[in-house]
Chains A and B, each alone.
Chain A
Amino acid sequence: MTDAIFGRLGLSSLALWRAFENPDLSELIAAGAAMAVIVGGLVTVVLLTWFRLWGPLWRNWLTSVDHKRIGIMYCALALIMLARGVIEGALMRTQQAFGLHGGFLSPDHFSELFSTHGTIMIFFVAMPFIAGVINYVMPLQIGARDMAFPVMNQISLGLTATGAALVMISLVLGKFSTGGWANYPPYTGADFQPGPGPDYWIWSIVLAGIGTTLSGINFAVTIYKERAPGMHFLRMPIFCWTVICTSIIMIFALPPLTVAALMLAADRYLEFHFFTNDLGGNMMNYVNLFWLFGHPEVYLLVIPAYGMFSEVISTFSGKRIYGYMSMVYATMSIAVLSFCVWLHHFFTMGQSANINAAFGIASMAIAVPTGIKVYNWMATIFRGRVRMTVPMIYATGFFYLFVIGGLTGVMLANPVISYQVHNTLFLVAHFHNVIIPGVLFGLLAGYHYWFPKAFGFRLHEGWGRAAALLWIVGFSFTFLPLYWLGLQGMPRRSASFSDPSFQPMLWLALFGAALIVSALTCLAIQLWVSIRNRAQLAAPLGDPWNGRALEWSIPSPPPAYNFAMVPQVMARDDFAEAKADGRAYAEPEAYEDIEMPNNTAIGMIVCVFGTLLGLALVFWIWWLAVLSLAVMLLALIGRTFRLNVTHVIPAAQIAAEHRAWLAKVKAAPAVDRLEETHARNLGRAVLERPIGSEAAQ
C-alpha cells in the first residue's frame, strides 16, 4: 500500500536520515548540502513573505513573457547553480589533494559529485546563462519587440528550471547518478545501478533538453522573421550571427540527447535492450548518440561566447569588428563542422584507423576557423583605443588561456595522442580550459557589459576587476597542473590515487580552486555592493560604453516594448553610425499603439508539475506521474482556448515615456571614455571620433 503511494521513496531516501544512521564525514557533508537546500528554500520563502514580495514576484517575473525578464531569470538560475557547481568542484579538488590512499569522501560520494558537477555546469549553468543572455540581448540587437513565441519562451524557462530543481532535490531525496555527466550504460543500466540516481539524470536532462530545443526554435525564428526593417543578415551584430549558429545546433543536436536518454529510460524502466550487455543491446549506440549531441553542445556553448567577446572587444576598442565576413564564415563553419567530429570522444573504442583519421582531421579542421576568430579579435584591438574595463580583462585572459586550450585541443584531435591521454586529467584540463576561459569568461564579460542595460546601473568596477583577475589566476593554478597529471597517466574521476608524485600538482590545483572560490565570492560581493551603490553607478540613459549596436539606443532598463518606434536600420553597427551621423536620439514623427502579449502562468504550471512528474518517475510514484502529466497537458490545451492573449499599450503613453527619456538624454552630460567608470557616466557618450576620422589620421 505504501508502495502504491510513495513508490520507492522511503526514509532512507533522505540524506539527513542517512547521515543520522551512519554519521561519517562523507554523509555529514551530504547532509550539510541537503540542509543548505532546505534552509535556503525556507529562508527564501520567509524573506519573500516578510517583505510581501510574493505578489510582485508572481506578477512581474514568474508569469512574465517579456524576453528581458525571462533572460534575467535564466541568468539568475545559472548563477545560483554556478555557486553549487563551483563548491562541488572545490570539494573534489580538496578530496584529490588529500586523496593519496584515501581522502575524506567516500568513493560513492565523490562519484556523485563529479556527476552532478558536470551535469550542472553544462546543463544548468552554461546553457541557462547562454540562453539568458541571448534572450535578453538578441531581440534588442535586431530591433524586435519580443521573441517570436513569447509564451513558448516562458515554457522553455520553466522546463530548464524543472531540470535544475530535480538536480537540487537529489541532494535531499535519494542520490544522483554516479555515472558522470555522460552517464554511459551499461554502468548506468538497471543491472548495475538499480537505484534512482541515473533516473534523476535522465529526467532532468530530458525535461531541460526539450526546453532547450524549444528555445532553439524560438531564437532561430526570431532572427529569421523578427528583424527590424533594414536589418539585413549582413548588418546584424556578430553576436546575432552566433545566436543563429547556436540555435541551429540546439534544434539539431538536442534530439540525439533526448533519444539517448529516453532509450536508457526504456532500458531502466521497461527492460528494453537498447544498451544492455545481453540480448542484442549495444552500448556503442549510446556512446555515438550521446556524443552526436555532446560535441555540437560544446560549440552551442562557446559560439555565443565568441559573439559576446566580439561585441565587447569591438566596443571597448572603439572600433568596428575586424573582418566581419570572415567572422560570419568562421562561425558558420564551426557550427557545421561541430556535427562532423563526434567520434573523437571515443577514438579508443576500436574502430578502424581510417575512421579515426577522418574524424581526427575533421576535428583539427575546426582549429582553422577558430584561429581566424582569435586573429580577428586581435586585429580589432589593433589601432583601436582600448579601455581595460572588466570585460576586457576577461577578454585578455581568454586570449591567453583559450589558445592553450586550442593547442591541447589539436593534440586531442589526434587519435595517436588521444590513445594516451583520453580519460585522464589531461582531458579534464582541456575541456575546462575551453569552457572556463571560453564560455564562462565570455559570459562574465557579457554579464558586466550588458548588466547596466538590464538594470540601469553599472557593476562596481573594483570588485569586478578583483573577480576577473582571481578567475584568470585561479583557473591557471587549478587546471594547468592537471595537464601535467594527465600526461603522467592519472585517470579522471579518481577519488584517490597511489602515486605520491601526483601530490604537489594536486596541491597547486587545490590552491587554484581556493582562488576560484574567492573569485565567485568577489562576484557576489560585487553584486551586493553595486546594488547598494546603485545611485552612484546609475546609467539610465542607456549608453554607458559608447555602444555600437541597437540595444544601446534605448533607455536602461528598456521599457517592456523595447523600442518606442521600430528602428529603421541603415548600417552595420547602426547606433554607432547613427551617433556619428546625428541620427541618434531623434524623436519619431508619430507614435503608434503597440500590442504586447499578456502574462500567463503556463510556464509555472509546466515547471511545478514538470518537477513533480520528474520526481514521480524517479521514485516510481505512478499516480503522481499520471496526474502531473495530465495537469500539464490540460493546461497547455486549455490555454489554446483563450483568444484574448494580448494587450495594447496606447501611443500616448509611449510618446510620453519616450519624450521624457529623450529630454533627460539631452539634458545629461555626455561623458568621454576616461569617465566611463565614474559616477558622471549616466549613459550618454561623447562622440569620440570626428566623422571621417580615417582621413584625418
Chain B
Amino acid sequence: MRFRHVSKVMLLAGCLALAACNGTGDTFLLPAGPIAAAQRLELFKILGWTLIAILPVFVLVPIFLWRYRYRNGKARYTPDWDRSSVLEILMWGVPLVIVTILSVQLYRTTHALDPFKPIESDNPPLRVQVVGLDWKWLFIYPDLGIATVNELAFPAQTSVALDLTTDTVMQSFLISALAGQIYAMPGMRTRLHILADAPGEFEGENTQFNGTGFPDQRFNAIAMTPEAFDTWVAQVRSDGQALTSDSYAVVAEASTGVQAQQRMGGEDQPEGVLHFSSVEDDLFGTILHRYTRGTAVPPSAQPGATGYDPQAATGGQSQ
C-alpha cells in the first residue's frame, strides 16, 4: 500500500512540474488519449517501485562515507568482515521481488498496450494508411478516397487504425501525446492504433534519423469533433489535387513538407501540408509491394535514393 502511495506522490510531483513547463500537447506526460495515459502511469509505477531499491543507495552512501572516513577513529573498523547471510538475502531478495512485480506488470501492459491491438471505442474505427517518405509523411484515407501530407486529421473518441510502411529508408512514427512509436519499413507493414479523448492538436514526428531533412519531418495530428472532421474531409476533396502515380512520384522525392509544397503548388494549405482530393486505387498496396515483386528496384526508382528520378519511377510503375 505504501508503495502505491509513493507512486501517487511521484505522479503528482511530475504533473506539477509539467504544468509549470508547457502545454503544447506533444508529450505523453500530458496524455491526450488512453494509450499515452497508460504509458505515463506505467512510467510512474516503475519509478516508484525502482526507488525502493535506489533510495537506500542515495541515503546510505553519504552516511557511510562520512561515518567511516579515515580520520574518524571512533567508527568501527572490520577489515576482514566480508559476508552476512541476512544482508545477502536482503540484497538478492529485495531487487528480485521488485523485478518480479515489475515483470508481471510489464507482461500485462505490453499485451494491453500492444500497438497492433485495436482500441475499443463506441464509434466505428477510421482506417488511415501511412507512408513514410524522406522528410514527410503521407496519409491515405482509403475509405474516404483522400490523402494528405503532414496533416493527420481524425475525429476524437474514434479509434484510428494506422497501417504503416515507407517508400525509402526505415522511419519511426510517433505521436507522443496519443501513443508510442512504431517503425515503418520498406516492403513491410506495421500497425498502430491511436485514439484521442478530445479534440486537439498534437505533434507527430519521425524519430529515426533518415538524412538532412530529418528534423523537419513533423506533422500535425488533429483530433476534431465529428462535424469538424466532415467539414475537413469536404474541404480536402474540394481544394486538393489528385494523387496519381505521377504526382506521387514527385511528392515522394526527398524533400521536406515545405519543399514538396513548393514543388506541387499547394501554397494555400498550412505550411508543409498538401491535400489530395482523390487517390489512385490501392496506392498503399502498390507502394508496399513494389519491393517484393521480385524485380530489382533501381535507385532511380527508389524515392529518397541518390539518383532518384520521378520520371523513371513512374515508368517503372506502369510497366
A and B touch in the complex (CB under 8 A): yes
B16 at the interface (CB under 8 A from A): no
B302 to chain A, nearest CB (A): 6
- Chain B residues 61-110 with CB under 8 Å of chain A are 61, 64-65, 68-71, 75-84, 87-88, 91-92, 95-96, 99, 102-103, 106-107, 109-110
- When chains A and B are docked, how far (Å) is the Cα of A325 from the Cα of B185? 47
**A-side contacts of B176, CB under 8 Å:** 420, 489
A693 touches B212 (CB 8 A): no
B70 touches A386 (CB 8 A): yes
- Chain B residues 47-65 with CB under 8 Å of chain A are 47, 50-51, 53-54, 56-58, 60-61, 64-65
B91 touches A326 (CB 8 A): yes
**A-side contacts of B111, CB under 8 Å:** 353-354, 357
Known contacts A186-B186, A353-B111, A419-B115: A498-B106 contact under CB 8 Å:
no
A689 at the interface (CB under 8 A from B): yes
A416 touches B305 (CB 8 A): no
A283 at the interface (CB under 8 A from B): yes
- Chain A residues 171-186 with CB under 8 Å of chain B are 178-180, 184, 186
- When chains A and B are docked, how far (Å) is the Cα of A381 from the Cα of B60? 10
**Given A323, A499, A673, which contacts B24 in the complex, CB threshold below 8 Å?**
A499
- When chains A and B are docked, how far (Å) is the Cα of A374 from the Cα of B50? 14
- When chains A and B are docked, how far (Å) is the Cα of A504 from the Cα of B174? 24
- When chains A and B are docked, how far (Å) is the Cα of A423 from the Cα of B304? 21
Find the residue from B29, B109, B110 having the highest chain A CB count within 10 A. B110
**A-side contacts of B53, CB under 8 Å:** 367, 371
- When chains A and B are docked, how far (Å) is the Cα of A378 from the Cα of B57? 8
Known contacts A320-B82, A388-B69: A415-B27 contact under CB 8 Å:
no
**B-side contacts of A192, CB under 8 Å:** 168-169, 211, 299, 302, 304-306
- When chains A and B are docked, how far (Å) is the Cα of A416 from the Cα of B295? 38
Mask of B149-179 contacts with A, CB within 8 angstroms, 1/0: 0000000000000000000111010101001
A600 at the interface (CB under 8 A from B): no
A493 touches B214 (CB 8 A): yes
**A-side contacts of B292, CB under 8 Å:** 280
A411 touches B43 (CB 8 A): yes
Mask of A407-450 contacts with B, CB within 8 angstroms, 1/0: 10011011111111011100000000000000000000000000
A623 at the interface (CB under 8 A from B): no
B106 to chain A, nearest CB (A): 5
Number of A-B pairs, beta carbon distance below 8 Å? 308
**B-side contacts of A379, CB under 8 Å:** 84, 87, 91
Known contacts A349-B183, A403-B57, A423-B207: A383-B78 contact under CB 8 Å:
yes
B253 at the interface (CB under 8 A from A): no
A400 touches B61 (CB 8 A): yes
**B-side contacts of A386, CB under 8 Å:** 64-65, 68-70
A90 to chain B, nearest CB (A): 20
**A-side contacts of B187, CB under 8 Å:** 277-278
B181 touches A423 (CB 8 A): yes
**B-side contacts of A387, CB under 8 Å:** 70
**A-side contacts of B88, CB under 8 Å:** 323, 326
A20 at the interface (CB under 8 A from B): no
A365 touches B99 (CB 8 A): yes
A697 at the interface (CB under 8 A from B): yes
- When chains A and B are docked, how far (Å) is the Cα of A322 from the Cα of B68? 15
**B-side contacts of A406, CB under 8 Å:** 50, 54
**A-side contacts of B39, CB under 8 Å:** 416-417, 419-420
- Chain A residues 358-409 with CB under 8 Å of chain B are 360-361, 364-365, 367-368, 371-372, 374-376, 378-379, 381-388, 396, 399-400, 403-404, 406-407
B212 touches A414 (CB 8 A): no
A462 at the interface (CB under 8 A from B): no
**A-side contacts of B220, CB under 8 Å:** none
A191 at the interface (CB under 8 A from B): yes
A99 to chain B, nearest CB (A): 8
- When chains A and B are docked, how far (Å) is the Cα of A624 from the Cα of B109? 57
A668 at the interface (CB under 8 A from B): no
A498 touches B218 (CB 8 A): yes
**A-side contacts of B305, CB under 8 Å:** 191-192
B57 touches A399 (CB 8 A): yes
B170 touches A187 (CB 8 A): yes
B180 at the interface (CB under 8 A from A): yes
B294 at the interface (CB under 8 A from A): yes
B43 to chain A, nearest CB (A): 6
A324 at the interface (CB under 8 A from B): yes
**B-side contacts of A317, CB under 8 Å:** 68
A487 touches B27 (CB 8 A): yes
A318 at the interface (CB under 8 A from B): yes
B26 touches A499 (CB 8 A): yes
B92 touches A368 (CB 8 A): yes
A499 to chain B, nearest CB (A): 7
B126 at the interface (CB under 8 A from A): no
A284 touches B185 (CB 8 A): yes
B77 touches A689 (CB 8 A): yes
**B-side contacts of A371, CB under 8 Å:** 53, 91, 95
- When chains A and B are docked, how far (Å) is the Cα of A483 from the Cα of B213? 24
B211 touches A673 (CB 8 A): no
- When chains A and B are docked, how far (Å) is the Cα of A186 from the Cα of B187? 12
**Given B82, B92, B297, B302, which contacts A372 in the complex, CB threshold below 8 Å?**
B92
B287 to chain A, nearest CB (A): 11
**B-side contacts of A493, CB under 8 Å:** 209, 214
**Given B42, B183, B209, which contacts A180 in the complex, CB threshold below 8 Å?**
B209
Known contacts A321-B82, A383-B77, A386-B70: A361-B57 contact under CB 8 Å:
no
A497 at the interface (CB under 8 A from B): yes
A6 at the interface (CB under 8 A from B): no
B99 touches A368 (CB 8 A): yes
A331 at the interface (CB under 8 A from B): no
**Given A323, A378, A417, A693, which contacts B83 in the complex, CB threshold below 8 Å?**
A323
Known contacts A278-B296, A417-B39: A348-B78 contact under CB 8 Å:
no
Mask of A492-510 contacts with B, CB within 8 angstroms, 1/0: 1111111101000000000
**A-side contacts of B102, CB under 8 Å:** 364, 410, 414
B103 to chain A, nearest CB (A): 5
A407 touches B296 (CB 8 A): no
A508 to chain B, nearest CB (A): 14
A107 touches B180 (CB 8 A): no
**Given B68, B113, B296, which contacts A279 in the complex, CB threshold below 8 Å?**
B296
A193 touches B68 (CB 8 A): no
B107 touches A361 (CB 8 A): yes
Mask of A234-277 contacts with B, CB within 8 angstroms, 1/0: 00000000000000000000000000000000000000000001
B248 at the interface (CB under 8 A from A): no
- When chains A and B are docked, how far (Å) is the Cα of A203 from the Cα of B110? 39
**Given B22, B83, B215, which contacts A494 in the complex, CB threshold below 8 Å?**
B215
- When chains A and B are docked, how far (Å) is the Cα of A193 from the Cα of B134? 14
B46 touches A348 (CB 8 A): no
Q: Identify the B interface with A (CB < 8 A).
A: 21-22, 24, 26-29, 36, 38-39, 42-43, 46-47, 50-51, 53-54, 56-58, 60-61, 64-65, 68-71, 75-84, 87-88, 91-92, 95-96, 99, 102-103, 106-107, 109-111, 113-117, 168-170, 172, 174, 176, 179-183, 185-188, 190-191, 203, 205-216, 218, 291-292, 294-297, 299, 302, 304-307
16 A-B pairs with CB atoms under 8 Å apart are A193-B306, A279-B294, A360-B110, A368-B92, A371-B95, A379-B87, A404-B54, A406-B50, A407-B54, A415-B110, A419-B39, A420-B36, A423-B172, A423-B174, A495-B215, A501-B22
Q: Identify the A interface with B (CB < 8 A).
A: 106-108, 111, 178-180, 184, 186-187, 190-194, 277-280, 283-284, 317-326, 346, 348-350, 352-354, 356-357, 360-361, 364-365, 367-368, 371-372, 374-376, 378-379, 381-388, 396, 399-400, 403-404, 406-407, 410-411, 413-420, 422-424, 487-489, 491-499, 501, 673-674, 689, 693-694, 697
List 19 extra interface pairs beyond A106-B212, A419-B180, CB under 8 A: A184-B169, A187-B210, A192-B302, A192-B304, A278-B302, A279-B294, A323-B83, A326-B88, A326-B92, A364-B99, A365-B99, A375-B56, A384-B79, A385-B70, A411-B43, A416-B39, A488-B26, A496-B215, A689-B79
